[in-house]
């Protein structure tokens, strides 16, 4: 997945039209919203040495990250999780394989992959059944917040001057 700092996208497209924006970015988006961060249970230093000094407390993170949500050429789901996924979220509340996004040629659907800390879609528990997602949908995976945007919704967020 291609990723961008939201502030960099905003700077580039704040005065653009929707047509100009979609000419460059005609795909859907996931925005990893700023929030707390929990280190994974087994944090290691380079060389594979365990870092016992890492406290298991949450720390505050900074800026939103925008991710281009694009169907894979082979048609397989786009998987979000902590390790060996299409989109990796290094947070201790996120399972190794947490969510699967599927594009059917018309819309995206999302399902939980049996994660340890669960997922919510717009405040409702998300299960193994694929549910459609719509512009502005709020996804909570563990304690990590993602927002889904269609191109027009992302453009609106980038050009909002409030």
Domains in the chain, start-ordered, CATH in brackets? 3-159 (2.60.200.20)
The pLDDT, as a whole number, for residue 53 is 42
pLDDT tens digits along 110-158? 999 999 999 999 999 999 999 999 999 999 999 999 999 999 999 999 9
Tens digit of each residue's pLDDT (9 = 90 or more) over 33-56: 988 878 877 655 555 555 444 434
b/e sequence 3-36, b meaning 16+ C-beta within 10 Å: ebebeebbeebeeeeeeebbeebebbbbbbbeee
pLDDT at 59: 46
pTM, entire model: 0.84
């Amino acid at each position: 997945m291609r990723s961008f700092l939201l502030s960099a996208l905003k700077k580039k497209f704040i005065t653009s039209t929707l047509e100009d924006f979609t000419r460059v970015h005609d795909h859907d988006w996931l925005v990893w919203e700023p929030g707390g961060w929990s280190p994974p249970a087994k944090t290691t230093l380079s060389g594979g040495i365990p870092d016992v000094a890492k406290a298991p407390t949450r720390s505050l993170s900074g800026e939103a990250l925008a991710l281009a949500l694009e169907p894979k050429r082979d048609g397989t789901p786009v998987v979000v999780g902590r390790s060996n996924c299409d989109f990796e979220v290094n947070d201790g509340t996120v399972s190794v394989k947490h969510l699967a996004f599927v594009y059917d040629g018309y819309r995206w659907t999302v399902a939980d992959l049996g994660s340890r800390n669960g997922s919510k879609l717009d405040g409702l528990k998300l299960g193994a059944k694929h549910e459609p997602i719509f512009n502005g949908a709020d996804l909570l995976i563990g304690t990590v917040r993602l927002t889904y945007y269609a191109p027009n919704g992302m453009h609106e967020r980038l050009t909002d001057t409030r």
